Chains A and B, each alone.
Chain A
Amino acid sequence: MKFVNIYKIIFAGFILSLFSFPRASAQPVPGLDENIPFLVTFGKEGDKSWGDFNFFQTWFFAIPKDFKERFYIRVFDPDTGGENDEQKGEWNTKMQYSVYGGKGVDPEKNEESRGITRTGDYKSGTLLSSRIFGVDPQYDNKYYTFGPFIATQGDYNERWKSYMFKIICDGISGDDGNLYRYFLSRDPNNDVPIEGANAFTYSYCFRMWNDIKSVSHVYPYIDTGIVYVKQRNFDWDDDGEILVVSRVRRGERVPVSGQNEWVESRIPIESGEVGSSLDFQFHKKQEYLVRNNNVIISLENQRGDAIKFFPAPIGGVPVYEAKPVYKQIKK
């Protein structure tokens, strides 16, 4: 319950900063609006059909240059084993969390840093902190805190007027699934958001709720110049429907992948969607419950550039605005 109350406090902070593009308050990862229970990363011997493809996941945090205090990256349930994680056989998985700063981190300047695949220098930047977790009851269902850090340790991005940091969760061994969350915080022991900070990833691997009524969301930001996006989703197990919603799109169906397969499709972007976020809604199958469904989704634009997902959608959660109109039929 305490956990929920903290989220409420954070949510109030979010509301205040929703309109401060490109910044938002996105300290919880996954975000509140996403309604995603956990991020998922499997050990590198994991079975892809269980929902992870690369066995690592990269997230970025942007710290406003004006933020002079120390900050922390808190990881909830960083270990494998225990309450939340997905066991395959015996618990045998080790996860390495590595925090990077300095030059080479900023994914807008260094494409390899985006961490979509293991190719290239996806661990670019200066390693600021790292720790390996295995079966570690001490951190099961609890936080581990990286830091303190200060903004200037990051890689400065002029466009965002922020310093970029990167955290990679790497399944260095084993085949179990690690379910976890991040929180960017001003406090090492509590989740206290940093105003104007942000988080994003280019390839989102997460756990769906074990509840057919729960709808999860991800919010890619449609930047200027995007004509269409190509979405790719992996291992959806045909679990319901993926709908794309925006201010001008009531809900358009996107092909859903089956077990251990990628499915991709192209989504033309309307002018009214540029400069705002899309809402990819994941509606679970209603006929029966697909349990422990781990999925991946990524987007790229018409030039093949990967598109960011923000846990706190830039510009706020896009709400479809019906525009009923009428036209007189002339005789």
Chain B
Amino acid sequence: MPRFLKYTLFIIVISIRVSSEASCQAPIFDVKPLSFNSPVFSDIAPVILKDGILFCSDRRTSSLSLITTFNDEHLYNIYFAARKDTSGWEKPRLISSAGSPVLYYGPLCLAPDGKTVYFTSGILTGKAAKKKTVINPRGIFIGELSGTSINNVRPFEYNNPKYSVAQPSISRDGKYLFFASDMPGGVGASDIYYCELINNKWGPPVNLGGKVNSKSSENYPFIHPSGRLYFSSDRPGGLGGLDIYYTILNNGTWEEPVLLPPQINSASDDFAFVAEESLQTGYFSSNRDKKNDNIFRFSSTIIRKVKCDTLQINSYEYEFYDENAMNFDTTLFRYEWDFGDDAQAEGVKVVHSFKGPGKYSIRLDVVNLVTKEVKKNEKTIDLKIKDVEQPYISCPEVCKIGKQIKLNADSTNLPGWNIKQYYWNFGDETVASGKEVNKAFIKSGNFNIQLIVTSLPDASGKVKEACVSKNINVIR
């Protein structure tokens, strides 16, 4: 089993899927097409770089020529669009491959070294590729990206003219290369495979199995640093056409793929999903608006606080002791405590549970067993017990997978707050709002629930916010 995937299982990620069980669901994604998308040509398969994105496009490389196959299929090239600011992009620049025999540059990925590029292209080149009758399977090619050119191109060892091997995605540690292939022996149509790098050599392709792959086509894998594997599939159960799913390796088994929510998926083809490390933002391709494919940017609107207090359970149990007596032999004295609620106890150190919040006057009488002298009410402790001022999450600590549970914030104790919203982040990329919500976890594990309470603006317009978190263990 890939080690890096094991280690990344518990990384907290933000925003992908919303719980259908949530009582009141806020929209969790903002999706916008990129400004440089061509209105008539296709732009697909973005790759996130520090200063921009690489993507594939079949747009004209010049105003005079449009390169197509003999079947009038547009040939793709790789482009780089530099990021101008948070929303703007510079005009995409063609990534050329001077001297390279390949004609098509398709979906790609960049190795951790930032230079080695794995890209998709037709396996056949030269005259063989130009024959009208020939079907040119896709293969993965490897080259070095330098500026706007790819050099030293060489084929991936598992390319095969009898089937396609395409759409590579390499893990952050560079040890696993995922790709799509319709090679024989798969579950059906195109499947997702991976190869493991062993002694600087890619091991044989491994099919991800029947949970990930289906009789339909699975393609465009993207392995995120968190260990999540995103891919597209036109399997039944989606919103239509290709839809984007994710899965994760759990104890050596790829889990049931999860369909991304409607803001990402649509009735059209949605594919080639990539995301930033935080999973807050990313890109995908879709033909939802027009006939051609375009690249869309998504950003999560899910709120997840970095700093959030752990829920404190109200405790009315207190320990009392004479601090100055703790280092000494006190056998010559008898400590008599009166807790002010009709309860008494004897001992240097005593524990008492009060019934609830209130004011209590605790009295200590000490009897000197040598002199029989009694020091009455030697010192009085005025104890004021209050519930903790915090939002309060009431929910079970353990629940079963798939079973609906109720969570409520009824015991929230925020005096003087005019509460506007109770916002729940269940820690599994689902959210809800409301004082009482229902939730069914679809995966097992420990989840950190956050309850974020915001107030209405006060007279000065100030809005207060408080966050508490609580863990819940979801078991099978």
Chain A residues engaging chain B, CB cutoff 8 angstroms: 215, 240-241, 243, 248-253, 270, 272, 283, 320-331
Contact with A along B307-345 (1 / 0, CB 8 A): 000001111011111111101111111000000000000
In the complex, the answer to whether B319 meets A323 with C-beta atoms within 8 Å is no
Per the bound structure, the CA–CA distance linking A329 and B312 in Å amounts to 11
In the complex, the answer to whether B383 meets A241 with C-beta atoms within 8 Å is no
In the complex, the answer to whether B312 meets A330 with C-beta atoms within 8 Å is yes
A253 CB to closest chain B CB (Å) equals: 6
Query: Taking the complex as formed, is B362 at the interface, i.e. its CB lies under 8 A from any CB of chain A?
Result: yes
In the complex, the answer to whether B324 meets A323 with C-beta atoms within 8 Å is yes
Residues of chain B from 378 to 413 with CB closer than 8 A to chain A in the complex: 378-379, 381, 383
In the complex, the answer to whether B332 meets A322 with C-beta atoms within 8 Å is no
In the complex, the answer to whether A252 meets B379 with C-beta atoms within 8 Å is no
* Chain A residue with Cβ nearest B333: A250
Supply 16 further A-B pairs (C-beta < 8 A) apart from A251-B370, A324-B379, A329-B315.
A215-B371, A243-B332, A249-B324, A250-B322, A320-B324, A322-B364, A323-B323, A324-B364, A325-B320, A325-B381, A326-B318, A326-B319, A326-B362, A328-B318, A330-B313, A331-B314
In the complex, the answer to whether A327 meets B333 with C-beta atoms within 8 Å is no
- Which of A248, A283, A327, A330 has a CB less than 8 Å from the CB of B324? A248
In the complex, the answer to whether A331 meets B315 with C-beta atoms within 8 Å is yes
In the bound complex, residues from chain B placing their C-beta under 8 Å from that of A252 are 328-329, 332
Number of residues of chain B lying within 8 A (CB) of chain A:
32
In the bound complex, residues from chain B placing their C-beta under 8 Å from that of A331 are 313-315, 317
In the complex, the answer to whether B322 meets A324 with C-beta atoms within 8 Å is yes
In the bound complex, residues from chain A placing their C-beta under 8 Å from that of B321 are 324-325
In the bound complex, residues from chain B placing their C-beta under 8 Å from that of A327 are 318-319
In the complex, the answer to whether A323 meets B315 with C-beta atoms within 8 Å is no
In the bound complex, residues from chain A placing their C-beta under 8 Å from that of B371 are 215, 283
In the complex, the answer to whether A251 meets B368 with C-beta atoms within 8 Å is yes
Query: Taking the complex as formed, is B150 at the interface, i.e. its CB lies under 8 A from any CB of chain A?
Result: no
In the complex, the answer to whether A324 meets B381 with C-beta atoms within 8 Å is yes
Per the bound structure, the CA–CA distance linking A71 and B366 in Å amounts to 46
Query: Taking the complex as formed, is B351 at the interface, i.e. its CB lies under 8 A from any CB of chain A?
Result: yes
B398 CB to closest chain A CB (Å) equals: 16
In the complex, the answer to whether B325 meets A329 with C-beta atoms within 8 Å is no
In the complex, the answer to whether A253 meets B318 with C-beta atoms within 8 Å is no
In the complex, the answer to whether A241 meets B370 with C-beta atoms within 8 Å is yes
A13 CB to closest chain B CB (Å) equals: 29
In the bound complex, residues from chain B placing their C-beta under 8 Å from that of A329 are 315, 317-319, 351
A286 CB to closest chain B CB (Å) equals: 8
In the bound complex, residues from chain B placing their C-beta under 8 Å from that of A270 are 327
- Which of A241, A250, A322 has a CB less than 8 Å from the CB of B379? A322
In the complex, the answer to whether A283 meets B330 with C-beta atoms within 8 Å is no
In the bound complex, residues from chain A placing their C-beta under 8 Å from that of B320 are 324-326
Question: Which of B327, B364, B370: most chain A Cβ within 10 A?
Answer: B370
* Chain A residue with Cβ nearest B360: A326
Residues of chain B from 451 to 467 with CB closer than 8 A to chain A in the complex: none
Can you list 27 contacts pairing A with B, beta carbon distance less than 8 Å?
A: A240-B370, A241-B370, A250-B333, A251-B370, A252-B328, A252-B329, A272-B324, A283-B370, A321-B324, A322-B322, A323-B379, A324-B320, A324-B322, A324-B381, A325-B321, A325-B322, A325-B323, A326-B318, A326-B383, A327-B319, A328-B315, A328-B317, A328-B318, A328-B319, A330-B315, A331-B315, A331-B317
* Chain B residue with Cβ nearest A250: B325
In the bound complex, residues from chain A placing their C-beta under 8 Å from that of B317 are 328-329, 331
